[in-house]
Amino acid sequence: MVECARIAVLVSGGGTNLQALIDAQGRGEIPHGEIVLVVSNRRGAYALERASEAGIESAVVSRADYADAQAQEEALIALLEEREIDLIVLAGFLLILSERFTKRFEGRIINIHPSLIPSFCGEGMYGLKVHEAALAAGVKLTGATVHFVNEIPDGGEIIAQKAVEVREGDTPEVLQQRVMEEAEWILLPRAVEAVASSLA
């Protein structure tokens, strides 16, 4: 049991969901957790700038620096354990984690996905691809899902979902922005607090 869960946010790109978490933390909406580390698998990810501006430690664990994917993952595990991380949040992290990794941190890794799982999810479904698929299918509702992470991409237990209307004339980019604003940025901080409080 921990008084305040030490949170690591794993990112690959711009870090809009990271920013939503930083802002929520600033508003006191995650009282049972504190973001203490941001890790990217890509150098130059703008999310690292966001971490720096918020005074949060950041690190890069890039595939280019390791002999193979397993060595990269071992370095990530070592970093998370060294920093005594209690909760891992995947926020646009485009690396598939192995079963070895997910078992090691079982019940302590959550992910945000920009659809209502089980729709438009699984390996290869990320970013705009998800919204393109939703529009191609003609659905009237999409949204976002926060779920626990296991060895199956987007296959872990669902924590929370929020629906978002698909409107006539939506492009993937417009839909992506609406899903972020109306679902992801609201849902993720709430889910992080819920899981952090269960660890505390």
Task: Decide if 164 contacts 114 (C-beta within 8 A).
Answer: no
Residue 62: how many CB atoms within 10 A of its CB? 13
Q: Give the DSSP letter string of 74-128.
A: HHHHHHHHHTT-SEEEESS---PPPHHHHHHTTTSEEEEESS-TTSS-STT--TH
Q: Is 113 a catalytic residue?
A: yes
DSSP letter assigned to residue 166: -
Whether residue 118 has a cis bond before it, omega within 30° of 0: yes
Name the residue among 60, 8, 15 with its Cα closest to residue 34.
8
Residue 61: how many CB atoms within 10 A of its CB? 21
Dihedral (Cα; 46, 180, 186, 109), 10-degree rounding: -60
* Residues belonging to the active site: 113
